[in-house]
Amino acid sequence: MLEGPCRGFVCENYGQKFELPGRGPIGANCMANPRDFKAPVAAYEDREVPSRLVVKWCGQFHETRIGQSPLDVVAWHGNYAPYKYDLRSYCPVGAILFDHPDPSIFTVLTAPSGVPGTANIDFVLFRERWMVAENTFRPPWYHKNIMSELMGNIYGQYDAKPQGFVPGGMSLHNMMLPHGPDRQAFEGASNAELGPEKLDNTMSFMFETRFPQHLTEFAGKEAPLQDDYIDCWDSLEKKFDGTPGVK
């Protein structure tokens, strides 16, 4: 139960319902396990008190006043119920020898589309985990997608953006826009001793969707923005000198 002011991130899904991603060769365990999703015990309250009822419909909020608690339903039957999930229950998997798996292995829930390889929404989580891959650039690589990525930092430091991506902040990289680690993350990971390392005290998430995402007027003009965000790539140096890679 929430007490006092709180903040969070909200994602509305207009496509197919969320489901657990297929584990494929991963098998029965790890990632998000069904047993960790919790639904409330049925309850009601019979209170004759003035209440404010707010409903969102077709993208607009509607409000009315009623003379009793809206939680006065004493009999209910159906197969839809709210649930909660503690993100600290998520068990990540990863490479234990070399290479950098696609971040889709960190998918908590997916709302699939009718096109294989894309989704209406993938909810992806980057939490505390061990990094042990050898001969590998461990942070996320430089890339661009056919899907749009909205990332949010819940707490701690994100490994691809040690500076600037603060808890409560968000970043948006729309489809087909290149992005990747800043110089500090690149240089640090390129020159690090690649022993076992635990990423600790970190939790960020990503809403990945096949649709382009547009900013609201508030987000584009009134919300606090990091105006120098794009500058984090200005100081990257060209490293390729024509030397053939190791086979």
Residues 114 and 215 in one domain: yes
pLDDT computed for residue 117 by the predictor: 81
- Residue 36 belongs to some domain of the structure: yes
- Residue 17 belongs to some domain of the structure: no
> Which residue range forms the structural domain that includes residue 140?
24-40+87-233
Residues 119 and 29 in one domain: yes
CATH assignment of the domain containing 204: 2.60.120.10
- Residue 243 belongs to some domain of the structure: no
Residues 70 and 103 in one domain: no
- Residue 108 belongs to some domain of the structure: yes
Residues 125 and 226 in one domain: yes
Separation CA 183–CA 215 (nearest Å)? 27
The count of structural domains within the chain is: 2
pLDDT computed for residue 242 by the predictor: 85
pLDDT computed for residue 246 by the predictor: 64
Residues 69 and 154 in one domain: no
Residues 194 and 92 in one domain: yes
The parts of the chain modelled with pLDDT lower than 50 are: none
Of 77, 100, 173, 214, the catalytic one is 100
pLDDT computed for residue 1 by the predictor: 65
- Which residues does residue 109 pair with via DSSP β-bridges, in sequence order? 123
- Residue 158 belongs to some domain of the structure: yes
Residues 104 and 55 in one domain: no
Q: What tens digit of pLDDT does each residue of 72-94 get?
A: 988 878 888 889 999 999 999 99
Residues 66 and 161 in one domain: no
- Residue 13 belongs to some domain of the structure: no
> What residues form the annotated binding site for Fe cation?
143, 149, 179
> What residues form the annotated binding site?
143, 149, 158, 179
- Residue 95 belongs to some domain of the structure: yes
Residues 70 and 165 in one domain: no
Phi, psi angles (nearest 5°) of residue 222: -110, -30
Known active-site residue 100: yes
pLDDT computed for residue 247 by the predictor: 58
pTM of the model: 0.87
Query: Is the CA virtual torsion 140, 168, 206, 145 positive or negative?
Result: negative
Residues 184 and 228 in one domain: yes
- Residue 182 belongs to some domain of the structure: yes
pLDDT computed for residue 6 by the predictor: 83
159 in the Ramachandran plot: left (φ > 0), alpha (ψ -120 to 50) or beta?
alpha
Residues 140 and 203 in one domain: yes
Nearest C-alpha neighbor of 89 from the set 110, 111, 108? 108
Q: Tell me which long-range contacts 160-166 makes (C-beta under 8 A, separation of at least 24).
A: 160/185, 161/185, 161/232, 162/188, 163/232, 164/226, 164/229, 164/232, 165/204
Separation CA 75–CA 22 (nearest Å)? 35
Phi, psi angles (nearest 5°) of residue 142: -80, 130
Residues 66 and 156 in one domain: no
